[in-house]
Chain A
Amino acid sequence: MATKKKLHKWIVDFTGASRPKNERQVAVADLRAPVGYYEGGGGGMVEAGSKDADQALLVKKSWDIALGPVKQIPMNMFIMWMAGNSISIFPIMMIGMMFFRPIQAFISIQNTFSMIEGNQGPLQKFVYLLGNCVCMALAVYKCQTMGLLPTHASDWLAFMEPLARIEWSGGGAMV
């Protein structure tokens, strides 16, 4: 590291990064395009050249994204089986992760969908959604097997109100 530093005996900064902010901005705005540079050019030419191959690549890439959650399912199932049903810190953390991932995916679903392109888009989007839902369902199932879901009457017992008293009585042995 120290030797590398010593190699730069002098530096000319063309980016303007070390200059004060206001100066730098002015400098960048003033830069003109090089001679012969055409702004709209280049891209169109590439597109025209390998359109079919790109399309296939795009679909393949989109399928990768769409199948991502589904691919996690076997691993999740394995972890579920390994973690067991006891309530302790690791299974709880695992369940937390299982819930967290699909929820995160749902939150950023707009971003993900914008990445999916091509003619198979709707199907891929559906598969992606389904995969996440299955992941979620697995997490809920795990909760159920661990007994964390309040599905029994006993789970709501603490919230029951005491019975109202309709009749009132008093008395005892004669005094």
Chain B
Amino acid sequence: MRPMKRFLSSLLCFIVFQTCFCLYEDQIGKFDWRQQYVGKVETTYWDQAGKRILVATERNVIASLSSHNGSIVWRQIFEEGPRGQIDAFLHQDKTLLSVCGGGHYIRSWNSQTGSLMWEAVGGQTDNGRYGWAIISLTVSEQLLLSTSDEFFSFDVSNGKQLWKENLPNEDNSLYEFIVPRGDIIFIIGISPGSHVSILESNLKGQLNSERRTVPATWVSQNTGCDTVADNFLLCYSSGSQSLQLLDFVESTTFVSITLQDIGLKVDSQVRIERLPSSVRTKNSYVLLRFNPDHVAVVRPSSNGITLVKDLPGVSISEMNQLDDHDVLLTLGKISPEEIKLTGYELGLGGEMAGLSQIIKFSGNHGLPVKMNALLFRKKDGRTAHRITMLSEDYSLQLLQKSGQNTFSFPWVREEALSHILAAEMVDLPVSENQAKFEEEFGSQEDDIITMFLKRFSTQISQLHTFTEHFVHKLLGNRHHHSQLEEEEELIRDEFNLNKIIIMATAAGKIYAMQSWNTEIVWQHFLPDLSPFNRYGEPNLLLYTQRTTAHFPHPPQYVVIGRNKKSGRGMVFAFNPITGEALNGQPSSGLHLNYELSQAAILAEMDEHFLKPVLLIDTEHKVYAFPETTSKVIEQTVTPLFLYLTDIDSGMMSGFKVSSRNAELVADKVWHINLQRKQQVITNVVGKRTVEHVHSQGRVLGDRSVLYKYLNPNLVVVTAEGEESGAALQKGPSNFVNIYLVDAITGHILFHATHHRAKGPINIVHSENWIVYNYFNQKNRRHEIAVLELYEGKEQTNSTAFSSFTAQIQPLVMRQSYIFPMQMSAIATTITEKGITNKNLIIALKLGGILSLPKALLDPRRPVMPTPETMEEGTIPYIPEIPVNTEAILNYNQSLYAVRHIHTAPAGLESTSLVLAYGLDIFFTRVTPSKMFDVLKEDFDYFFISVVLGMMTLVSFVSQKCAQRKALSRAWK
């Protein structure tokens, strides 16, 4: 029996995987593409005399970019989260060093190939203080590394730890600076609220036992400080609005200098721009920033601080050296579409003619934020300039001289695309003819005559375009120009497979990309837009208010975020095809005068086919956007409910929206306390509103129907916590709770606890099922669980679903499986009508995107297969979910740090479009039930038509022959 069973199950598995989607070699890159990014650049260095740019980024990536075209030469990706956070990145001569995870991992890289030279383990990260490690290189090729309480030295050539010293830390000193000065190393720590301490050490790691402390009661954790040259510490005290200068080698007190003293008249806060540690000691100037477009350069000396240059209207400036002269380069925006580059020769005082120019600069990049210039003399004596520039929208650009003394940007890297927070796919508008067609059949009010006239005019115009097309064809392809124009027009294709992808990014920039060739159609930068960030997870909301189907109304999308300065709500409604602001809004977005706590989109449309968006402020007041649509909400017959989850207090509450005195109000109708003391809510997931469920039930082996429990208002809530009490003795023990809550009544339909389980949990909630993953601490493996909800064999109401009359307790079936790999995101395919089978799209941490048939995650999989289950077509239960390499959608194009997968339906029922984004972007299409609605690509039209023609011919001939034969037989 047993081998038989095994054979059967393996056979079934084989059959299932026969249907998997996989590519042929020549299909690579035909339907899919990948874009690689590095993330928001934090530090840049020039390498190989300006041929390469070395960068370290916020997405825990170090990379080398080609300065020729901006492409990635090599890229190394560290872990996500604080463990991979880059604390320091240092490039000096041939050495390239990176420090990650609070001084824990020190790595040395070959800057040409990106291969790892050595890796060393430094300080412990027990105290959870990341990002404080600092490094410095001494003259004798010694790497100095300081964490919050330890001080290390490594040999740069091989990574051997030379010595290690403990730093006195009883006064919560944060050691932020290491300054090598000849044979002495100064370590400067800051104790917020009391003093600054200075330690001295020699190159052998012998700490001078005496620790000097300089009283500084004004210093706090946020105080901006930097070291200048090798003997000054400059801080800005925001309380007294003064600069504090300390000569830490000789002096023992801070010298306070107000801004007025040095001739600066500024009333805003001042920030001291920090320099990379490798250039800090050589530099004797400090850049003060007052505003995003006002900086000043000062120079500290033993006599105090002297103002070198006050630069209003300048966004960034940088000190550089050319022929032993100090050159100050500044960049500032002078008009929305232009920036001005100016070079000052500080020794001589004048502007440098060759370095001062006005350059065209797109307004979609915001203000320049950082620059890194490389000035050198070529062999023929002319100066060459290369400047990398980072802008407010996270874009990295190269500014260089091209041709006759004009500067230009040869390339731009849109690094905001590695910080996508929300994405949607937009249908392209139909062509003019089709639009007329739809107009004709769309309206029902017209009488017969007008309809006839419309029909007539449509056909005339069709004939016209046809003849035009025909004439063009006859004339040959000489009119390349017009053809190009035709291609540029954005028109829906036959199967609606090509879309425009709208992406809202953390930089406050919105992109529209063509899904078929990755070209950016438009980009729009909103300088004030920032993501919501209440719980440390940045988030932007993107809703479809009107699709492209309502010609002649333009489609409308809306991005909802937070104002960077005020923290209040911000809304931007736009046309996704052109990027224009709609509703008479300014192109910088609409600023609300309240703080948002949630938003929701309605299903009902107003007379212009616009779906209203509900905005809920922190006082639970409800606003409609646009305001004109509030009438729709007042008149709507559908009861409207909202639910909010406060993760800080662990409370879920439900509200009923109604209109009172021409104002929308939300009345609280229920609340659930999820015990914040014991657990933290990690996910609140509802269903996607665009989803269609075609089949209302499931056919069982005996041909009866098991009806699905299709509650559109079902919400999945997960909470994680740590076990207390006896369970703790077996080692660390966590638990995961999962709740299914009806958002209308607040009723908990189902609750399950996974003991000894841990997140992070990814959830897919679709139709009548929920799939989620967790880490099983007991067996130390990843598991994936599925819940399916059924009403039973009878349906309570076969026409409508109301949470008030629906059955209280649906039938919940569940099963869990071992998943052999760690995953970072899950999504499910979605199709136009929901007829096609569903596949789960799983982003693996290893870099693959797995397409897994939902049939493998089916709680009805029987442990013992019977003829009835075979009839139903369920696969016998096997605990492991196989990861088949043929089901990896992105073959060898690995994707790392995937944050989210977005799926969208195509015009073909069989096809679903998949967009995975995170650090990189990957787009492809999947066909979970194969291409059942189109002929295969390799379908031989010629052969089939020849065979058909031949058969018709043969049947004619044979008919004639038969007739003649019958006639002659009649004569016998």
Report whether chain A binds chain B: yes
Name the B residues within 8 Å of A147 (CB-CB): 703
A165, closest chain B residue (CB): B712
Asked whether A174 and B600 contact (CB < 8 A) given A157-B699, A162-B693, A168-B639, the answer is no
Contact B645 A173 (CB under 8 A): yes
Question: What B residues does A162 contact at CB under 8 A?
Answer: 692-694, 696, 710
Q: Does B358 contact A (CB under 8 A)?
A: no
| Distance between Cα atoms of A147 and B535 in the complex (Å) | 57
Given the complex of chains A and B, what is the CA–CA distance between A154 and B697 in angstroms?
Answer: 8
- Across the two chains, which residue of chain B brings its CB closest to A152? B703
Cβ-defined partner of B803 (8 Å) among A153, A157, A167 = A167
- Nearest chain B residue, comparing its CB with the CB of A1: B972
| A173 to B596 CA separation, bound complex (whole angstroms) | 12
Q: How far is the CB of A162 from chain B (nearest CB, A)?
A: 6
Contact A154 B703 (CB under 8 A): yes
Flag B251-269 by CB within 8 Å of A: 1 or 0 each: 0000000000000000000
CB pair B801 A175 closer than 8 Å: no
B641 cross-chain contacts in A, Cβ below 8 A: 167-170
Write 8 A-B pairs (CB below 8 A) sorted by A numbering: A167-B638, A168-B603, A168-B638, A168-B640, A169-B600, A169-B686, A170-B602, A170-B643
Does B799 make an interface contact (CB < 8 A)?
yes
- Please tell me if the beta carbons of A160 and B686 are within 8 angstroms of each other in the complex: no
- CB within 8 Å for A173 and B647 given contacts A164-B800, A166-B801: yes
CB proximity to A under 8 Å, residues B56-102: none
B696 touches A165 (CB 8 A): no
Known: A162-B692, A174-B534, A174-B645. A167 touches B639 (CB 8 A): yes
Q: A172-B684, A173-B684 are in contact. Are A163 and B598 (CB under 8 A)?
A: no
For B643, what are the chain A residues with a Cβ–Cβ distance below 8 Å? 169-172
Whether A47 is near chain B, meaning CB under 8 Å from some CB there, is no
- A146 to B640: give the CA distance in the assembly, Å: 49
Q: Does B597 contact A (CB under 8 A)?
A: yes
| Interface residue ranges of B583-626 to A (CB < 8 Å) | 596-604, 614, 616
- The answer to whether A166 touches B639 (Cβ under 8 A) is yes
The A-B contact count (CB < 8 A) is: 125
Q: Is A30 an interface residue (CB 8 A)?
A: no
Interface pair B713/A169, CB less than 8 Å apart: yes
Which single residue of chain B is at the shortest CB-CB distance from A175? B532
B719 to chain A, nearest CB (A): 12
Look across to chain B and name the residue whose beta carbon is closest to the beta carbon of A162.
B693
User: Is B644 touching A167 in the complex (CB atoms < 8 A)?
Assistant: no
| Contact A173 B801, beta carbon cutoff 8 Å | no
Cβ B743 vs Cβ A174 within 8 A: no
Are B697 and A157 interface neighbours, CB within 8 A? yes
Q: Is the beta-carbon distance between A172 and B598 smaller than 8 angstroms?
A: yes
The minimal Cβ–Cβ distance linking B905 to chain A, given in whole angstroms, is 15
* Contact A174 to B639, CB < 8 A, known contacts A1-B972, A168-B603, A169-B713: no
Taking Cβ atoms with an 8 Å cutoff, the residues of A that contact B are 1, 147, 152-155, 157-158, 160-175
Interface residues of B in 701-733 (CB under 8 A from A): 703-705, 710, 712-713
How far apart are A3's CB and chain B's nearest CB, in angstroms?
Answer: 12
Alpha-carbon distance between A169 and B666 when the two chains are bound, in angstroms? 12
Which residues B821-840 have CB closer than 8 A to chain A? none
B742 to chain A, nearest CB (A): 9
B598 pairs with A171, CB closer than 8 A: yes
Closest-by-CB residue of A relative to B685 is A172
**Chain A hits for B423, CB < 8 A:** none
Partner of A163 from the list B639, B685, B710 (CB cut-off 8 Å) is B710
Interface size bracket, B side: 35 or more
Are A167 and B744 in contact, with the CB atoms below 8 A?
yes
> Which residues of chain A come closer than 8 Å to B694, judged between CB atoms?
158, 162
Residue of B nearest to A171 (CB): B643
CB distance from A121 to the nearest CB of B (A): 40
Q: What sequence of 0s and 1s flags, for each residue 785-801 of chain B, a beta carbon within 8 Å of any chain A beta carbon?
A: 00000000000011111
User: Is residue B10 contacting chain A, with contact meaning CB distance below 8 A?
Assistant: no
CB distance from B305 to the nearest CB of A (A): 44
Given A153-B705, A164-B799: A170 touches B601 (CB 8 Å cut-off): yes
The 9 closest A-B pairs by CB, nearest first: A170-B600, A175-B532, A166-B802, A164-B800, A171-B643, A169-B743, A154-B699, A163-B801, A152-B703
In the complex, which residues 913-972 of chain B have their Cβ closer than 8 Å to any Cβ of chain A?
972
Q: How far is the CA of A163 from the CA of B596 in the complex (A)?
A: 33
Closest to B805 in A: A166
Which parts of B748-801 form the interface with A (CB within 8 Å)? 797-801
Chain A residues within 8 Å of B743, by CB:
169, 171
Interchain nearest-CB distance for B909 vs A (Å): 14
In the complex, chain A residues whose CB is within 8 Å of the CB of B802? 166-167
Whole-angstrom distance between the Cβ of A92 and the nearest chain B Cβ: 19
**Residue among B597, B686, B713 making CB contact with A175, cutoff 8 Å:** B597
Flag if A157 contacts B534 (CB, 8 Å): no
Q: Which residues of B contact A168 (CB under 8 A)?
A: 602-604, 638-641, 713
Q: How far is the CB of B492 from chain A (nearest CB, A)?
A: 26
Beyond the given pairs A154-B700, A163-B696, A173-B684, 15 more chain A to chain B contacts, judged by CB atoms under 8 angstroms and listed by A's residue number, are A152-B703, A154-B697, A154-B703, A154-B704, A157-B705, A163-B710, A163-B797, A163-B800, A167-B638, A167-B744, A168-B713, A171-B686, A173-B535, A173-B645, A175-B532
Residues on the B chain within 8 Å of A153, using CB: 704-705
**Could you say which residues of chain A place their CB within 8 Å of the CB of B801?**
163-166
In the complex, chain B residues whose CB is within 8 Å of the CB of A164: 799-801
Q: Is the CB of A152 within 8 A of B704?
A: yes
From B532, which residue of chain A is reached at the shortest CB distance?
A175
B681 within 8 Å of A (CB atoms):
yes
Residues of A within 8 A of B462 (CB): none
Cβ of B539 under 8 Å from chain A:
yes
Asked whether B598 lies within 8 Å of A175 as measured between CB atoms, the reply is: yes
B337 within 8 A of A: no
Q: How far is the CA of A29 from the CA of B158 in the complex (A)?
A: 127
Residues A172 and B686 in contact in the complex (CB < 8 Å), given A162-B693, A166-B638: yes
Q: Which chain B residues numbered 515 to 557 have a C-beta less than 8 Å away from chain A?
A: 532, 534-535, 539, 541
Q: Which of A158, A165, A172 contacts B638 (CB 8 A)?
A: A165
A175 to B600, CA, bound (A): 12
Name A154's closest neighbour in chain B (CB-CB): B699
Q: Which residue of A lies closest to B794 (CB)?
A: A153
Q: State in angstroms the CA–CA spacing of A169 and B118 once bound together.
A: 55
Could you say which residues of chain B place their CB within 8 Å of the CB of A163? 696, 710, 797-801
**Cβ of B695 < 8 Å from any Cβ of A?**
yes
Q: How far is the CB of B806 from chain A (nearest CB, A)?
A: 10
- Tell me the smallest distance from the CB of B617 to a CB of chain A, in Å: 11
A1: chain B residues at CB < 8 Å are 972
Complex formed: what's the CA distance from A149 to B710 in Å?
A: 28
- Compute how far the CA of A172 lies from the CA of B643 in the bound complex, rounded to whole angstroms: 6
- Shortest C-beta distance, B486 to chain A (Å), equals 40
Q: In the complex, which residues of chain B have a beta carbon less than 8 angstroms from the beta carbon of A161?
A: 799
Task: Give, as a whole number of angstroms, the nearest-CB distance from B420 to chain A.
Answer: 17
B288 at the interface (CB under 8 A from A): no
Least Cβ distance of B180 to chain A in Å?
47
Complex Cα gap A163–B802 (Å): 9
The answer to whether B597 and A174 touch across the interface, beta carbons within 8 angstroms, is yes
CA distance A164 to B604 in the complex (A): 13
| B282 smallest CB distance to A (angstroms) | 46
Nearest CB in chain B: distance from A146 CB, A: 13
Residues 446-474 of B at the A interface (beta carbon under 8 Å):
none
B844 contacts the other chain (Cβ, under 8 Å)? Answer: no
CA of A157 to CA of B539, assembled, Å: 40
B646 pairs with A174, CB closer than 8 A: yes
Q: How far is the CA of A91 from the CA of B699 in the complex (A)?
A: 25
Let me know if B597 and A169 touch, CB within 8 A: no
Contact B696 A160 (CB under 8 A): yes
Q: Is B642 an interface residue (CB 8 A)?
A: yes
- Nearest-neighbor residue (CB-CB) of A158 within chain B: B695
- Per the 8 Å Cβ criterion, residues 667-697 of B in contact with A are 681, 684-686, 692-697
Given known A157-B695, A163-B710, A164-B799, contact A175–B638 (CB-CB < 8 A) = no
Contacts of B640 in A (CB 8 A): 167-169
Q: Are B642 and A170 in contact (CB under 8 A)?
A: yes
How far, in Å, is A86 (CB) from chain B's closest CB?
Answer: 13
